[in-house]
Amino acid sequence: MSTLFDAQRHEPLQALARDEAAARAWIARYADDAQSAFTPAGLWPVHPRDGDDDAKEGEVPQPFTMVYLGAAGVIDTLDHLARAGMAAATINFELLLADLAARNLALVEPWGNGVHGLLMGQTGILLLHYRLATDAATKAAIADRIAAAISANADHHSLELLWGSPGTMLVAMTMHEWTGEERWADLFRTDARRLVRTLLPAADAPCRIWTQDLYDLRDARYIGAGHGFAWNASALIRGRHLLAGPDWGASREASSCAVDRRRGPRVVPLELHRRRRPPADTGCMGLTPVVRFRYASVQPRGFNAAPNWFR
């Protein structure tokens, strides 16, 4: 049986009073450590358990590039901490992001799940590159690539956050907030309307629900934020100011039905193929994000359902 706590790797729990200076020092120390561990070729080391199951013994896993579990997510975090004055920036990551996008394409394209997803593919890295770029012409070129990628991802079959249009909707919304350009609102509306159209009745559900076509599961109806209902509904909530009355009204009514009857639909957890069921209240697949949406559908003012990525 694996051990959760290893004294060689984990700090013991302590009854400490809140200390902002100590927290800031901890953050700065770990940010420095992360930057020290970075190399342009190897990015950040991959934990052996996150590597390829088919890799030969002793083989160094290929570094990950994406926002979800790779270099782009680490760079985003370090940049966010630097902008907040919580850590010093010692590496100019802007110079590396074009190569990172190319490496991401080479990594994920053979997997057959698409290449444009927010958390796994190109749009997350491009959005990060746009934020870090300082040259106006470079930013304009990146923006055009982002718009093309969002359009190309509109019909992605997964209907979830990592790979599909519910994730690239957030990219469009973020670009609209940053630039005010109407083309981003148009892209968001196009994806939102399709998302509402794909909220359909299911034989084993008492209400309309999204059906995911993801990995080796072709008829999955996820409830949580990671791959299903809670995130899709949250994307619509987050951009409701860009939607006309009928579009927002239809999505709110249909999604609220799914929340009110959550116990009815067949919930297919992400870990089904491993025969492990996650706790019912976990953020990725369970009840917590569903409750957040139900509250927002009643009290939408001031509710920000989307994570603060790239802000």
pLDDT digit string, tens, across residues 140-197: 999 999 999 999 999 999 999 999 999 999 999 999 999 999 999 999 999 999 998 8
Residue 49 has pLDDT above 80, yes or no: no
In this prediction, residue 257 carries a pLDDT of 56
* pTM check: above 0.75: yes
Which carries the bigger pLDDT value, residue 171 or residue 223? 171
In this prediction, residue 258 carries a pLDDT of 53
Residue 287 has pLDDT above 70, yes or no: no
In this prediction, residue 54 carries a pLDDT of 64
Q: Is there a contact between 61 and 50 (Cβ–Cβ < 8 Å)?
A: yes
* Domain residue spans of the chain: 20-153, 157-311
List Cα–Cα distances, 139 to 37, 91, 146, 172, 208, in angstroms: 29, 20, 10, 15, 40
Euclidean distance between CA atoms 264 and 39, whole angstroms = 49
Residue 36 has pLDDT above 90, yes or no: yes
In this prediction, residue 296 carries a pLDDT of 40
In this prediction, residue 285 carries a pLDDT of 46
State mean pLDDT over 229-257. 76
Report the b/e string of 196-205 with b at 16+ CB within 10 A: beebeebeeb
- pLDDT band for position 301 (cuts 50, 70, 90): very low
- pLDDT band for position 254 (cuts 50, 70, 90): low
Euclidean distance between CA atoms 47 and 27, whole angstroms = 21
State mean pLDDT over 112-127. 96
Residue 57 has pLDDT above 90, yes or no: no
Residue 272 has pLDDT above 80, yes or no: no
Euclidean distance between CA atoms 148 and 123, whole angstroms = 10
